Structures are given as C-alpha cells and as structure tokens.
Amino acid sequence: MRSTQKTIHNAALGISFTALVAGLAFAAPAYAQSEATQQAAPEIDEIIVTGSRLARVGFDQPTPTTVLGTDEIRQGQRSNLQQVLNDSPQFRPTTTPQVSVGNTSSGNAPVDLRGLGANRTLTLVNGRRFVGQNNLNYVPLGLIKNVDIVTGGASAAYGSDAVAGVVNLILKDSIEGITIGGQTGISSRGDGRRYGADLTMGTSFADGRGQLLFSGEYVKDASIRDRNSRRNLGSAGIVRLNPTDPTDPRQVLLRDVNFGNQASEGLIKSGIFAGQIFNNDGTLRTYRAGTSLAADPSVAFPAQVVGGADAVGLYDALAVTTPLERISTFARASYDMDGIRLWADATYGRSRADYNFIPDIGASANLVMQANNPFLSPEIRGALADAGETSFTYGRFFDGPLMLRYDGTRQQIEGAIGLDADLGSNWLLRAHYSHGEIEWRQRVSNARIVSRFNNAINAVESGGQIVCGINADLDPSNDDAACRPLNLFGYNGPSAEALAYTHGTQRNNTTSKMDAASVEILGDLFSLWAGPVSVAFGAEARWEEQVSKSGALDLAGAYGPLNLYGTPVSGGFNVKEAFGEVALPLLDVDGTVKIDLNGAARYSDYSRSGGIWAWKAGATVGLFDTLLLRGTRSRDIRAPTIAELFTVRSIGVGPLVDQDTEGRAAANPGYNPTPQQVTTFAGGNPDLMPEISKTTTIGATFTPQFMPRFNLSVDYYDITISGAITTLNASSLTLACRLGNTAACDRITRDGTGTVIEVQSNSQNIARFETSGFDIEASYLADLSEVSSGLGSLRIRALATHVRKFVFDTGISRIDTAGDLGSSTANSIPKWRGVLSFTYETEYLGLDARIRYVGSGKFNHQLDGILVNNDISARTYLDLGAQFKVSDRFTLSASVNNVFDRAPPISPTGPVYHDAVGTYFTMGARAKF
C-alpha cells in the first residue's frame, strides 16, 4: 500500500486538476445555480429523504427532521458548519474554539445532538459516511444546499452511531459559473480576528449530461488570549462562604479565585524570606497576596485566595478561544448516460492549531530549593547562611517560558465513486465505494521531563561555574553531561539551554482509515388501494483501522504530570450489514385522511462483537391536508470506537478499598477489605459490546388552510441508552457491584476468601443515559409583494427545545443534570433553549435578525441549599445582519453577533452554552461570474 503522505499528495493534485478543468470549461460567464430545495438531474431524479432509505415523492417521514437552508447557514457569517449547528437548540456545543481551551481537540469540529456525546451523532454527506465522519471542518460551506437534522434514532437506516440522530449534509449537485467570496471579522475589543476566502465553481458539458464542480475555502481564526478582557471569564471557583466556620456548609461561586501558594515570578514560602517573590534582576519584593480562603487563618500561603495582585489563577493563563487555520476542498464529476449516472467525489482538508496550552501545575507549589543555589544573589545566599537555613519551600507557577504549548495538524483525504441507475418501472439502484484517511500529528512542547527537571533545579557552583549537582558530587554513576542547571528565580529566569534539557516535546502521530461500500435497490413493490408499497433493501460493509504512535519518552511515562500520549492505540474492525425498509400506505382519502406505516431493520455483523439488530417502526396520519400526526419506536446502536477497544492496556499493582464488603468477613475470616497487592488493568477493552438505545418519538405538524405559509410542529422524544461505555476506577467498580450492577461485578476477580485480587477497570458497558423532552418549530413566510410590488418577503422561524430530564447513571451514581448550566457539571444541559430568526429579502437588499435564548437554571442542582448563588439567569442574545446586492454579480454583507455584548455567567472553566466572545463584527463580499 502506498504511504498516506503519497496518497494525500496525489489526491490533492487530482482535486487541483479537477478544478483546473472546470475553470477552463467556462466559455462564457454564467450565473450560480438556483438554490431550490430539490434539483433534477438530466435523466435521474434524486430524492433524498434523510432518516429513510426510501425515495418516494409524497412520502411523509415519521421521524422528526429539521432542515436548515441557506438562510440559516448564512446568518451570523459563522466560520464553519459546526458553529451554525451549535446555535440550534437540539445541539450541545461539546467541542468548540471556546470550550476546547485546555485540551487537544482543536481542529476537530464535531456536533453533539441531545448532549449525548458527539460519538452518538452520525454525520453524513449526501447520505453516506465519510472518514472522520463527525468533523465538519472539511466541508466547504459554499457547497452546502441544506442540512437535514434527524432528531430521532436512525440506526435501522444508517447503522451505528445514529443514536441521538443524524446530520445529513445535502450538497449542491449542479453549479454553473464561478463564485468568489471573502470575509473578515473582529471583536469589539479588537481581538479574535478572522480572515476567510472561498471559491465555488462548476460547469456542465456534453449537452448537460456531465457536470464538474469544485469548492474550497480557507479560514484563519486568531485566538483571544486575555480572559480578563471579558466579564466573568477570569479565574473563578466555588469556595466556602465562611471558610473559618466548620459548622457552615454554605459555598459561593466567586470571581478572581487564585492560587495563594505560588507566583509566576516564584514565591518563597518558608524561612527568613517567606512572603517574598523575585524580580527579573534577582532581587526580592513583597508578595501581594489575596484574601485567604483557608479554614485555618494561620496558614500563611493558602491554596486558594480571592484577589491578590501577584496571585495567579490557572484559567487566567488560558485563552478565551484557540486559534485555527484550515483549508477544505471538495470536487465532484458526474456523467449521465442511458439511465445511469456515474459520479466521483474527492475531498482534501488540512487544519492546524498552534497555541499556549496549559501551565504545568504538577509540582509547582511545593518545590524545595537549596539555600546555596548559585542562581540566588550573594546577598540572599549570605542572609540564608547567617540564619542557618539550608533550604526553603518555593512555589513557582509554570506559565510564561514554562507553559506547555500545543501544535496539532490534521489532514483528511477521501475519494468516493458511485453510480445511480434507473432500472425501469420506478426502480433505482445506488452503489458506492469510498476510501478515506486522516493523519493527525500532535506535539506538546515544553513538557517537563520529571527526572531531568529534578536534576537541573539542584544547581551548585563548581570550579567557578554553575552546574547540576549530580555532576559535582562524588558519585560518578549519576552524572549526566547533558544536564544544564535551571534557574527558577524570576519570570524570565529559565535559560533556553536549561529548558532544552529539562523539557521535551510529547509526540503522537495517529492515522485513521476507513473503507466503505454500499449497494441498495429501491422502488415500488406493488400498489394497494391507498398507493404503492415502497421498499428499499441493500447491503453495506465497512473497514476501519487506526494506528497511533507515540515517542519513546511518552511511552516510558517520563513526562509529568500530563503524560498525554503514553497509551497509544492500534487496532481495527470490520462490519458487514444488510438492511431493508418498507412504506405501507393503509388509507388515502383525498384531502381527508392519509395513513402510512413505515418499518425498517438492519442486521450488523461486527468482527469483534458479532451480530446485532437495529429496527424502527413508525406511522403517520394526515388529516385534511392540515394536520400530520407521526410517531416512531426504534432500537438503535453505537458500536465501540477503535480507541475504546484497542487503547494499549496498562497494568498496575497497588492497594484497593473494597466497597462491597457486606457479609464477606462473616463468611470467611480470611477476607481482607483493603488488599495491598491488587492487579488493575486499564485502557481499551476488546470485549466491549455495542451500546443499545430505545427511542420513542411522538409529534404533529400543523399547516392551517387559512394560513398556508405557516407551519407548526411539536415532537416529543424519549431516549434510553443501556450498556453505555464508560470507565470506573477499581474501588468504584466494587461499589457499583454492591449496588447491583452485574456488568461491574463481572470485572472483579476474588480469591477463595472473597478478597479482591484483580480488577478490569478499562472501558466497560456499565453506564446508562435517559433523556426526554420536546422540540418545537414554527415558521411563516409572508410575501409582502402581494401588498405592494417590490416589498419583498419576510420569513420568520422559531426553533426551541425543552429538556424534561437528562439522567446519566454511571453504575454508582444517578444524576439528572437537566437545567444544570455550570461548566464543571458533566452533561450539563439547559431545560429551555431556542432561536428566533427574521429574514427580510428584496431584489437588492437582505436583512436578518436572530434572537438566541438560553433558559435559566442552576449551576449544579446538587448544590441547592449549599451554593448561595446557585441560580443562573436566562440569557438572550441578538444578532443582526445585512446583505446588499450591488449588482447581479456582486454582493456585500455585514453582521454583528451579540449586539448588546451580553456576558456569560460566572464559570470556573468557561461557558458551554453562553457566548464568551462578546460583540463580534463580520464583513464580507461575494462575486459571481
């Protein structure tokens, strides 16, 4: 097999060649394609019903589906599709530039329906899977016609991962002409600059039977560094309201909660210079401390303080948003001949994020420094010697030159070929094959190598030179000629030579590959009294593999405390599937009653876990062309990921507290509830089974005849996921077993006395999710030209989601987080969230306004009665936009997001649902040829 690098290079050349051919084919200017909802090919009509394999005109899909068109995608001039979807109330912004700070997910843009995790939302392009299937950074916005969001389980139609639902990107399949766009943005504080450019072009040939198209975009987002430039984003924390009163359990969420036991310049915490920090010239000054939050007021340097000019906070050192530079391209060629359409797609994308990551706080608060350290001034050393002090305790916050830095590059390449064939008598054949690869190169530089760091901070003077103590003692066995002494006194104390020795670069290269093949046949089997019985059936196969390689020091666990890449992944699986679907019309009385039944089933045979079924049963009842009632019940699955299966297992031996002790000592006197030599296995688990979800949806859509341009839909959903994959430590597994979780019990091995001797604390099928709620959608289109010519049209659309419950059961705890909005609350999700948009268009002018709403809630409802400011008020954000059509070929646009600069609630780690950037301005221009 050719190397991935060569494959990417060849594919990039292929895409460039396709674009060149398309450009040369333009003999005369042409206008861009019409953005109608459906487009017909010259000989084969393509009907895409997301959530179903059927392609029948007039088929009422029983599974709720929300469609975002070009208006919604354009509003706010978001830089990628992930940001567009995260504004929709059904999605949880799990991984975005503002919530990815402090982790290594930058460059990846997944979406998370229902807050159940991005790995439980399936993303498709034109109904097919793609490699890195939940990363939307590689789909050019200029090519998207609309986005279909299925908000119910759809594994029967599409297989694994469609538990919370499906996001299907419907791409334009016919373009004539060239469209070039540019965009720039900046926040009201002058930071967060964004630059973007895009190109979309297409042409037909062979009398319209062939079509070539290409789309590409480039975006560069700068980071927003200063968290304190935004209200409520600086370091914060939950602390005791009266820390010195042990009888008062109340807590309070405060701004400006910092470390009181360390400083960026270095804080001396013991001896005659206690309470002094270093200037860059090596002299000392008094540490400006904050208000202590310690239970014992006599503690000189408490772990937490409020305020303090020299006190430091972890999140003050992190950015508001991370920077990202990316390019994404897509090319397609298609040709129709005698009832057959042949097509080929190619995509290439690359993204890079390079930024200060997080301070290394593993050993910064309680360093022990020697009083004779030659980096100390002679005056300080002399004073310490006179006082008889040989060492002192030291707190140094590892930011600035000691801060970890992340550099990640992702490259994605994919090619697909397929055909759509008209078999006659209203039967179609569709088939495709795709191959895709992702290369993810990650580097975390300035990572502390623990053993070398300990060597270097013990600096001594020898022969008139400052050297490492290990090279000046009488033991030659511990010498290290490469050791360079490290000066931690003062912000800029460390030298480049010393850092090159004490710090290294954590490395990881991951390659993921996916091959997928699919064939399906669909059509009308026969007709009944109420209409044709439509069926679809077919087979699919998929092969996935992932290889992750880390550096030698990473594998040895040399870095501390964030040894990020010490457990690499290597493995793969394949799955072979067969599926079928049927739509059965029961009754169709024109204009009165229409009843359809819909059923689907899929059998998946996984190479690791074996066979499993997914199915769906649904029905729709249409009344008087005004009211449509719909409902579904489905069994959906999520197969374990390669990382969950094959992350390299680690083995540890150590003590354990057994929390399942009842009756054991009485039954066997030899039982030991606190064994000291328990073998614990962590990492991947090749024996994992697919998660199983049961989903119920019931809803209705209402389109009154007296107001035909108005539509209202209300849908109820209820999702329960059993056997959800999670990880518990060894002691927690014994507790889960005591509470009746048999899957946890199966992971524990006991000897004849009942004493635990071995625990499998790797990934396991022991958790459970339960969530339910309502989705509400309303829209109205007013054709104002009916009132007066030239007035244009006004479109109003509202989307809202109400979450009744969101329960996560780990096997040892069961917590309902619906209404929790605190960033430190896992699975936090508001009870109410919505967006209301207004779009006004004339021939030359477009205006839009969007109101985003996040309902009130609790920081953490488990802290009710304890956290005195646990309530979080609702937030409403206003976005405005305008488009001015200068001519038929040239359009200007501008937008302002968060017009009133609404601040997020106080949060220790940053908001999830609330705007953190503040007011943001964007301007753009677009030209068509």
Mean pLDDT by 10 residues, the chain (929 residues): 40 36 33 34 53 73 90 84 92 65 66 94 93 82 93 94 95 94 96 95 94 96 88 88 93 93 95 96 94 91 93 86 93 95 96 90 85 96 96 94 92 96 94 96 94 96 94 91 96 94 95 97 93 96 95 90 85 97 94 93 97 97 94 97 88 87 84 88 90 98 92 97 92 88 89 90 92 97 88 95 96 92 80 97 94 95 93 96 95 97 87 92 96
* pLDDT at site 79: 83
323-to-144, 315, 326, 812, 919 alpha-carbon distances in Å: 25, 17, 10, 39, 18
CB 150 within 8 A of CB 163: no
Burial class (CB in 10 A: 0-12, 13-18, 19+), 838: middle
CB 153 within 8 A of CB 636: yes
CA 455, 457, 462, 466 dihedral sign is positive
395-to-259, 265, 392 alpha-carbon distances in Å: 10, 9, 10
Structure tokens, 819: 């209404």
Structure tokens, 367: 């360093």
Q: Tell me: the pLDDT tens digits for 397-444?
A: 999 899 999 999 999 999 999 999 999 998 999 999 999 999 999 999
| Distance, CA of 274 to CA of 381 (rounded, Å) | 14
Name which of 225, 199, 305, 202 is nearest 258 in CA terms.
Answer: 305
| Distance, CA of 480 to CA of 477 (rounded, Å) | 9
740-to-389, 660, 693, 733 alpha-carbon distances in Å: 58, 10, 21, 11
Instruction: Look at the chain and count its residues.
Output: 929
CB 873 within 8 A of CB 855: no
- Alpha helices by DSSP H, listed for 683-831, are 730-738, 742-745
| Distance, CA of 75 to CA of 806 (rounded, Å) | 30
| Sheet of strand 756-760: strand arrangement | 650-654, 678-682, 756-760, 748-750
Which residues does residue 441 pair with via DSSP β-bridges, in sequence order?
409, 509
* pLDDT at site 55: 73
Give the start-end residues of each E strand in 818-902.
Answer: 832-841, 845-854, 857-858, 871-872, 875-885, 890-897
In this structure, the strands spanning 875-885 and 890-897 are: antiparallel
CB 262 within 8 A of CB 304: no
873-to-253, 635, 798, 833 alpha-carbon distances in Å: 14, 37, 21, 13
Nearest-5° Cα angle at 777, 151 to 634: 25
CB 583 within 8 A of CB 598: yes
43-to-208, 209, 866 alpha-carbon distances in Å: 10, 8, 68
DSSP 297-324: TT-SS-SEEE--SS-B-TGGGS-SB--E
| Distance, CA of 233 to CA of 607 (rounded, Å) | 47
* pLDDT at site 96: 55
